[in-house]
Structure 1
Amino acid sequence: MVTDGVGKPITLPGPARRIISLAPANTEILFALGAGPQIVGRDTTSDYPEQAKTITDIGGGFGELNLEAILAQNPDLVIASMLTPSEQTKALQDAGVTVFTLGNPVDFDGLYTNLHTVAQLTGHEPEAEALVGEMEERVATIQGKMAKNSQRPLVFYEIDGTDPNAVWTPGPGTFIDSLIQMAGGDNLGANLQGEWVQISLEELIARDPDLILLGDALWGGVTVESVKARAGWEALTAVQKEQIFPFDDNLVSRPGPRLVDGLEGLARLLHPELFQ
């Protein structure tokens, strides 16, 4: 018996062999553990690794799940996320499908727990041990480098700059907040209220970050040039010194194995001198 992220215990007769993933992080975890061949359906936003795109798309993401397509795959396990709407989870359970909701970690220990849990559900415990061990070594390497660091730049991570006068940024207690801290920086949003927060241009100018990271560069098409052209943003030191960098948000917003890639990427941006 395994208890999921919403406190629901489930029991499987054996390792799941026909799995449907309802979140891109879940899909990445499954592939990283060697359970990719066991996936028979994935949500629309699951696009990594490349092999995931060849698996049957059952909807979801920001749209509706295709219940008929899910049932047609005869799954013995559906792995949902904490972001999966409860009505979708209930519809699957009402149809007799076993649903496991994977918790949303806020640090690496929580992520390692998720990896071991999914490994237990899918019969890949040895692979999880190896993967977690490798990730722990890489995290320790970054921590060792940061122990030599005495300067901590103030970092503004932009999640959504659709309204440049009220940009969304990660607040305290989020994995992105934790990653910035571990990478040797201070998250500007750490003293705001809420996990995902809008900050006014006035407050942003008052705080004056050393670096601006564009988490909306890939999905939103935001560029360094477009940020420099925003009215009022020329007052920011990071803009004046051209300390604006696009960043692959998938590496820090999807709670899967690539979070360690995100940590390494952040550390290199914040402290390039430690990687020369």
Structure 2
Amino acid sequence: MIVLLLVLAGCASHPPDEDSTAKPNTEATFPVTVGSVTIEQQPMRIVSLSPSATETLFALGAGPQVVAVDSQSDYPPQAPHTKLSALQPDPEAIAGYHPDLVIASADTGGLSAALAKTGVKTLVMPDAKTLDDAYQEFIQLGRATGHQAEGESLAQQTRDEIGKIVADTPKPAKPLTFYYELDQTYYSATSKTFIGQALAQFGLKNIADGNDPAISGGYPQLSAERILQSDPDLIFLADTHCCGQNAGTVAARPGWNTLTAVKNGDVFPLDDDIASRWSPRIVDLARAVSTAVTKAAHAG
């Protein structure tokens, strides 16, 4: 549950957009089948219950087709924010927006079956486990919404940008170790997760991996003792907005002022949302990691 909450981090509540001004894409070819869902015609009233999907839809140019997004979809600002819950979806409330397609990250509570009774199809886009998964979802969302060319372009552009950032980042003489913090109770992400893989591209060694990076689904809860004993070179904080964490609060924890990362000023706050979503903004995450590695490499 904590992982799902972190993935859905962020909140906003604005009046819903009652009408879609989207115009059909006459070049789109329908029907199309994405996963196990066949979409007969281009959807013009989309409800997104996934912050990552919401960001991607707008990046694709499908924003005008989106009539409602869940309460955690706080980006981009122009998204039609509502109080719809992705954690506890209410089929009746969702149907109230008269969607012709609902996009969710999970089929929570039998959502797709409930909406099917009203004639609405649900496209489930599960959590990306790898960067390639994220790129594939860009393409799939493009196909599902009549923006296939844009989806393919977005996937390639994102892949290329991240590849360039990684290539341009200096390589330390020896691999740097890091601790990635999801919350103040020391939940972290191993190299078996989407975020872990994104950081691994920079040649970093994850202290959360231990002997089994797959433990706890890739999201283990570390102990303060383990973190202190590992003495990471870098600390990334993905709990800045939610929990007010920063270099100062980390240094104030018992014993943490002795850590190499703290002493060298290598504690890096991240935007919670960017650090938890598999949207095109993963490029921003890559830039933040590159900045951290470059600083540490030059200091070393």
State TM-score, norm by structure 1.
Answer: 0.87
**2:222 aligns to what SS in structure 1?**
strand
State yes or no: 1:269 paired with 2:300. Answer: no
**1:183 aligns to what SS in structure 2?**
coil
Give unmatched runs, 5+ long, in structure 2.
1-31
State yes or no: 1:20 paired with 2:47. Answer: yes
Counterparts of 1:1-276 in structure 2, within 5 Å, are 1-4=32-35, 9-52=36-79, 55-62=80-87, 64-82=88-106, 85-146=108-169, 149-161=172-184, 163=185, 167-191=186-210, 192=213, 193-194=215-216, 195-272=218-295
Q: Write the distance in 1 (CA, Å) between the matches of 2:297 and 2:158.
A: 20
**1:20 aligns to what SS in structure 2?**
strand
Cα deviation digits, residues 143-168 of structure 1 (max 9, x gap): 3225855432111011011x3xxx11
How far off its partner does 1:199 sit?
Answer: 0.6
- Tell whether the 8 Å contact from 1:212 to 1:244 is kept in structure 2 after alignment: yes
Q: Write the distance in 2 (CA, Å) between the matches of 1:226 and 1:180.
A: 23
- Give identity over the alignment, percent: 33
- Tell whether the 8 Å contact from 1:27 to 1:42 is kept in structure 2 after alignment: yes
How many residues align? The count is 263
Structure ranking higher in strand proportion? 1
CA RMSD of aligned residues (A): 2.2
Q: Write the distance in 1 (CA, Å) between the matches of 2:136 and 2:297.
A: 30
Q: Write the distance in 2 (CA, Å) between the matches of 1:176 and 1:203.
A: 21
**1:271 aligns to what SS in structure 2?**
helix
How far off its partner does 1:57 sit?
Answer: 1.0
- Give the partner amino acid of 2:66: I
- Tell whether the 8 Å contact from 1:145 to 1:274 is kept in structure 2 after alignment: no
Q: Write the distance in 2 (CA, Å) between the matches of 1:238 and 1:272.
A: 12
- Tell whether the 8 Å contact from 2:140 to 2:151 is kept in structure 1 after alignment: no
- Tell whether the 8 Å contact from 2:34 to 2:144 is kept in structure 1 after alignment: no
How far off its partner does 1:273 sit?
Answer: 7.5
